[in-house]
Structure 1
Amino acid sequence: MRVFLVQTAQGLTPSSGGYKANVNLLRMLSAQGHDVAQICYGLDLEVDEYAHRAKAKGIKPNVTNTILPVIDPKGVNHKILIKTFTDEYKVYNIRDELNDRMQALVRLFADRITEFRPTHVIFNDAITMKVTANHPNRSTFKRINIIHTAEQLPFGPFVAGVDGHCLAAKVEDGMLRELDGIWAVSKAIQDYAWTHGTLETKFLVHPSMTYMDNKTGGMPVVRNNIDKHEIGMVNPCPHKGLAILLALAKKFPDMKFVTWKSWGTQKEHQAQLIAHPNIQVVPTTTNTDEIWDRIKVLLAPSLWLEAWGIVVTEAQLRGIPVIASDAGGLPEAKIGLPYCIPVKTVTGERHANGDYVVADQDITLWEEALTKVMTDGEGYQGLATLTATRASEWLNGLDDHAHEKWLLSMMEEKN
């Protein structure tokens, strides 16, 4: 197979769980002997770092630089720098600068697809869905959309609930139904697609490589964080359960909380966080070891239809207990481990600014779970051991060829 991925967010060192899974799908397919490439946004320093790592593994990065001239609707000339290189996983990367020159990017996507001659094009955005539908070589490749959020789908209560998602619902609905495959990353997303849109999807857990240690490629190192004192949360914002975090910080002023900003964390949310002296706010990180080496327990109090919750799985594989809500796919990510607490999830109702309306939450069970994990040393050690053991068994039980077999099956179907 020749698999081409269009990555619409940071594609080299993505902090978002969904985009991290996209990259690792390519890496796994490459390890299984298939030719893979991605087009993504990136920084020069990232290209240099990845090229260096490729050389260290005996792979020639073959870095190239190309200038793509662009004339915007006002007649102003612009230049987009395009870099290509092969990384340590033998993934061919086409990197461009972040910009809003849409027509140039559409042309770039189409041209690169032509050059790579893919058997499959994978994406999770409407632009690529349209580009591939009208591509002159359309009959030569299969088109697959990855659904990472319910907001991507053009129907149901959460349609267009996140900026940039689903800009033309009726059109996108029609295009979705013409695809060769739609990958739902959780049963929760699969159920949503069928319930609200009668849309058939293929449920596949993220590739196991998504959860492997970034440096060694092996199983993650299990921590022994019983002596740590901080409670962590990633991407604090209203629909991720910011209110629950703030309520817990107020209830337990002697406990220390640390949060990592991400795509949902706005200035007003940061202001709410730093108003509590026992909450520290730090920048987002692509090196999640910084998180796992620091915290004793992870909070995942999401209130929206969480697609899976990769951060939950990552923490559990390292023996770090997770106190999560039961929203969306989080129970799937929890794999039956404590704690998974019922919450009042968002309904799709929104404020005037577009944010979801978040209901008041009862934090009693959160208080009890947090008190138990943070104060019962023997109980914590037992839970940490159980967490690491069961998560490891779960990961080892995944079929590493599930995605490969699904993609290959499309080539066997009659057009």
Structure 2
Amino acid sequence: MNEGKMKIILIQNTPYLPTKGGSDKSNKLLLESLAILGHECFIIAPATSLQTPGGFERFSTLVNEKNPDFVNANDDRIAFGINGVTIHALKKFSRLPEHLGRVFAEEKPDWIFVPSDDFAQVLLEQAVKLDALKVIYLARTTLTLPFGPDAYLELPKKAELVKKARGIMCVSRFISDYIYKWSGARSSVLPISLYGNGSFPDYGSFENGYVTMINPCAYKGISILLALAERFSAVRFLAVSSWGTSSEDIAAMKQRDNITVMDAVEDVELVYKKTKILLVPSLWAEAKARCIGEAMLRGIPVMASDVGGNGEAKCGTDYLLPVNQITKYEYRLDQRKLPVAAVPVQDVYPWRQALERLLIDREHYMNLSKASRSSAYDTLIKDNGVERVEAFLHGLMENVAGRASAAAKKEI
């Protein structure tokens, strides 16, 4: 479906490279998929952050390693093309709103996509100022929303900005319901976290692999990982550090001889091909953990916490396990500039039971591996591609055009 070429700008507050976090991967795949359909797509992002060592020089090296279609650099930014998408990476984070205004004036886009990962909603505020009728808000995280009990900061004026957006696309029914309950804004659940073309290797293996956790940190339930590693001392665990993992988290994991720690990588196959079971013991209101779908599509059984949208990600398969959810955050930031969570004590017994069965019952493991792969494909891939996003955007454009036509006739 392509009822007319659209021009789309996505602006994010995290670097485009390296692409390791779930939201950043989803932004990248969404724009690349729309570009494949023939739409003209741009991403505006900072070149570096506190979590990307090496500065701008290292970023330039990463760009060249990607064999970009073109590279065009000046004193303020480096522009390059990858997979049909034009990326503007700015040297200074503070220039993002200004640069969005400049590109908006030059390119005259049909849409501005603004992910919800900005606590202060600075990028959303600029986009709304430029043209609220062209703003699409991508809701993927409750913590950074400006309203509701699971948000770090409740900011009524910023909440009004969300309601001014022309459309809100949500990653899960959970976050769509949350937005309506706490802001009154209506939204649409759409496949804004895409997984690929449906061709995935099958890594389900009862005999080999680690019990893996991605992004071990307070939010994601590192306390449960540490407790399980202590209980199952003969089992090999793999911890993939990412945006939430602090130096204290790494130190705690390295005290366990059976936990191997590795840095996050762009190529997820390097993690999943080593994985026997994936742990996702999130303690915050997870909108819909991307890694659940990634693992299940590859035949890897997932043990996930029963919070937020994780139930939707699990597609009806075992195991969805109880946790005591985080309900409070301190008014201070950690070394990674993230809110410090007040983490409740956890009952690890249900997790111990589930892990033990998957480790000792081969038939059960293989049945769950097969069911996970099949259910994930049917739910996340089949009839759930980027065409649904494209149709949604075309529908919004038709509604605007229809109202404009009706208004013109009324004037006559």
Is 1:211 the counterpart of 2:219? The answer is no
What is the aligned partner in structure 1 of residue 311 from structure 2?
331
Q: Distance in 1 between matches of 2:390 and 2:320?
A: 32
Q: Distance in 2 between matches of 1:40 and 1:399?
A: 25
Is 1:153 the counterpart of 2:142? The answer is no
Say which of 63, 81, 87 aligns to 1:86. Answer: 81
What is the aligned partner in structure 2 of residue 387 from structure 1?
372
Q: Distance in 2 between matches of 1:121 and 1:352?
A: 32
Q: Give SS of 1:151's match.
A: coil
Cα offset, 1:18, TM superposition: 1.2
State the 4+ residue runs in structure 1 displaced beyond 6 angstroms: none
Cα offset, 1:381, TM superposition: 1.9
Q: Is the 8 A contact 1:12 1:41 kept in 2?
A: no
Q: Give SS of 2:295's match.
A: helix
Q: Distance in 1 between matches of 2:177 and 2:236?
A: 38
Q: Give SS of 1:228's match.
A: coil
Letter in 1 for 2:79: T
Q: Distance in 2 between matches of 1:224 and 1:170?
A: 47
Cα offset, 1:224, TM superposition: 3.9
What is the aligned partner in structure 1 of residue 259 from structure 2?
279
Is 1:239 the counterpart of 2:219? The answer is yes
Say which of 352, 362, 387 aligns to 1:377. Answer: 362
Paired residues for 1:40-55 under 5 Å = 40-42=45-47, 43-50=59-66, 52=67
Cα offset, 1:254, TM superposition: 0.9
Ranges in structure 2 where 5+ consecutive residues have no aligned partner = 1-5, 48-58, 334-338, 405-412
Q: Is the 8 A contact 1:39 1:93 kept in 2?
A: yes
Q: Distance in 1 between matches of 2:362 and 2:391?
A: 45
Letter in 1 for 2:361: D
Letter in 1 for 2:35: S
Paired residues for 1:11-410 under 5 Å = 11-42=16-47, 43-50=59-66, 52=67, 61-67=69-75, 80=76, 82-87=77-82, 89-97=83-91, 99-100=92-93, 102=94, 104-124=95-115, 125=118, 126-135=121-130, 138=131, 142-160=134-152, 169-207=155-193, 210-212=194-196, 219-348=199-328, 350=330, 354-394=339-379, 395-410=381-396
Letter in 2 for 1:315: A
Write the deviation string for residues 129-175 of structure 1: whole angstroms up to 9, x where unpaired. Answer: 2222333xx38x611111111122211123236xxxx7xx1221121
Residues 177 and 390 of structure 1: CA distance in aligned 2, closer, same or farther (over 3 Å) = closer
Q: Give SS of 1:291's match.
A: helix
Q: Is the 8 A contact 2:169 2:192 kept in 1?
A: no
Letter in 2 for 1:381: M
Aligned sequence identity (%): 29
TM-score by length of 2: 0.86
Q: Is the 8 A contact 2:203 2:276 kept in 1?
A: no
Q: Distance in 2 between matches of 1:157 and 1:22?
A: 26
Q: Is the 8 A contact 1:351 1:357 kept in 2?
A: no
Q: Which range moved further: 195-204 or 306-315? A: 195-204
Cα offset, 1:390, TM superposition: 2.0
Q: Give SS of 1:28's match.
A: helix
TM-score by length of 1: 0.85
Q: Is the 8 A contact 2:204 2:301 kept in 1?
A: no
Write the deviation string for residues 365-406 of structure 1: whole angstroms up to 9, x where unpaired. Answer: 111111111122232222212221222222223254111111
Q: Distance in 2 between matches of 1:31 and 1:144?
A: 20
Cα offset, 1:218, TM superposition: 5.1
Ranges in structure 1 where 5+ consecutive residues have no aligned partner = 55-60, 68-79
Q: Is the 8 A contact 1:151 1:158 kept in 2?
A: yes
Q: How many residues are paired up?
A: 375
Letter in 1 for 2:26: A
Residues 352 and 106 of structure 1: CA distance in aligned 2, closer, same or farther (over 3 Å) = closer
Q: Distance in 1 between matches of 2:161 and 2:296?
A: 38
